[in-house]
Amino acid sequence: MEIKAKNIGVAIKGKTIFNNVSFEIKSNEMVAITGASGSGKTTLLNCLGLIQTISSGNILINDKNVTKWNDKQKTKFWHEHATFIYQDYGIIEDETVSYNVTFNKRQSRDKDVNEILKNVGLDGRGKELASVLSGGEKQRLGVARSIFKNANVIYADEPTASLDAKNRQLVIDLLKRRVQSGATVILATHDERLVKECDKIIDLSKFETILNKG
């Protein structure tokens, strides 16, 4: 999916978080939103995911202006196209790990779900309650969900924050594979190792977009 921000700004309780930010994200791109702690990375990610409303400017998805979309339109977008990998968001603690991957929405065989869990290093954990997972395991459960859903756009907030070197590389490789199969991946991160794998960087400290490659 193509996502465009045109002069967008957010002010919360009179305080400007960021202002006049413009950029373009294309399909098949992995994009990093970077900047110091408190610079507005999570806020910008939430705006692009239509979770948070912007105070000024416009957001376009596939050239459609979505700035004034109502709840029904947003819900349809989240349902059909988006997944969110947030450590403390969207995991249903008192359901099993498997349920959290599939939401039982599709007839899915245990074997397929376990194959995905294996990919994220959660082999054989499907029947456990999500509440027993560590922060890092929940991050990877979020990745498993996005693989299962085959989402067009993946929003991830600090997806490598709680991961050791091995699992960090695992998550990076999985996200890159999703990009290769056509997804757009948008990450808020200050992990330099993840940033350098991205095609584009939106740096909120400098208010500029840097093309890494191509």
Binding site for ligand ADP (CB under 6 A): 12-13, 17, 35, 37-43, 188
| Shortest CB 109 distance to Mg ion, Å | 36
Tell me if 157 sits within 8 A of 45, measured CB to CB: yes
What are the angstrom distances between the C-alpha of 131 and each of 123, 125, 137? 17, 12, 10
At which residue do the structure tokens 């099993």 appear? 96
Compute the half-sphere exposure of residue 90: CA atoms within 13 Å on the CB side of its CA. Answer: 24
Separation of alpha carbons 20 and 61, rounded Å: 18
What the block records as the tokens of 27 is 């399909």
| Shortest CB 85 distance to ligand ADP, Å | 14
Q: Which residue's Cβ has the minimum distance to Mg ion?
A: 42
Q: Which is nearer to Mg ion, 39 or 100 (CB)?
A: 39
159 binds, among Mg ion, ligand ADP, none (CB under 5 to 8 A by kind): none
Q: Which is nearer to ligand ADP, 27 or 55 (CB)?
A: 55
166 SS3 class? helix
| Shortest CB 157 distance to Mg ion, Å | 6
| Shortest CB 88 distance to Mg ion, Å | 11
Determine the Cα angle at 2 with ends 74 and 24, to 5°.
110
DSSP tag of 20 = E
Q: Which is nearer to ligand ADP, 154 or 187 (CB)?
A: 187
Q: Which is nearer to ligand ADP, 92 or 210 (CB)?
A: 210
Q: Which is nearer to Mg ion, 42 or 56 (CB)?
A: 42
124 binds, among ligand ADP, Mg ion, none (CB under 5 to 8 A by kind): none
40 binds, among Mg ion, ligand ADP, none (CB under 5 to 8 A by kind): ligand ADP
Binding test (CB under 5 A) with Mg ion, winner from 19, 28, 42, 209? 42
Tell me if 81 sits within 8 A of 75, measured CB to CB: no
Compute the half-sphere exposure of residue 106: CA atoms within 13 Å on the CB side of its CA. Answer: 11
Q: Which residue ranges make up the site for Mg ion (CB under 5 A)?
A: 41-42
